[in-house]
Homo-oligomer: A and B are copies of this chain.
């Protein structure tokens, strides 16, 4: 039962001792999207053994990366969420997200895809400079799954569900949303085809496009 360790006095190795196991960083990704129930996690991590999920959750709680929280009575359920320490892993996830774009390829029906994952992509693409002075929210409903992004004071907030008074709302099917996101289809075509809809202020749409640029390299320096 003793945890396997790299046994190195190196902060990279120590970090990987805690979050380097298979599935663990994807589990962090899931919780970056928002608090999740056990079954939500199973759903967002197709293929994980339930025993492994349970043991990883236990370990991450022990390491103060995530926390177990009971929802108030009407909901009567428990959720897992990132602690402050766990939120500190966001740069790692974002770093992987940037790097992984090149490995992504074209949308493939064989691969699992959840609308929520778009939240992570949005957080990765967020351009704080372009967001300066903007104060508005954007609503998405993809495949019936609602999520949103709000920009205020140059900062980004995201969540699942519906947001008040969005400046723009995008409603789309999985296929059309992915086709547009991957650049396979022009937004105009998708709009004409019908299962892709944009409501709201056209100018706000332009701002959103600048704040979440489609394919730039990470803001870090280039080699």
Contacts and interface: CB of A to CB of B under 8 A. Distances in A.
Interface string A16-32: 11101110011001000
Given A8-B113, A22-B20, A100 B221 contact: no
A108 B9 contact: yes
Given A15-B103, A93-B12, A223 B120 contact: no
A176 to B, nearest CB: 15
Nearest to A88: B99
Contacts of A136: none
B7 A47 contact: yes
A134 B176 CA distance: 51
B104 A9 contact: yes
A220 interface: yes
Nearest to A92: B95
Contacts of A103: 11, 14-15, 17-18, 63
11 contacts: A6-B47, A7-B46, A7-B112, A11-B121, A12-B26, A12-B93, A12-B100, A14-B100, A16-B26, A89-B99, A91-B98
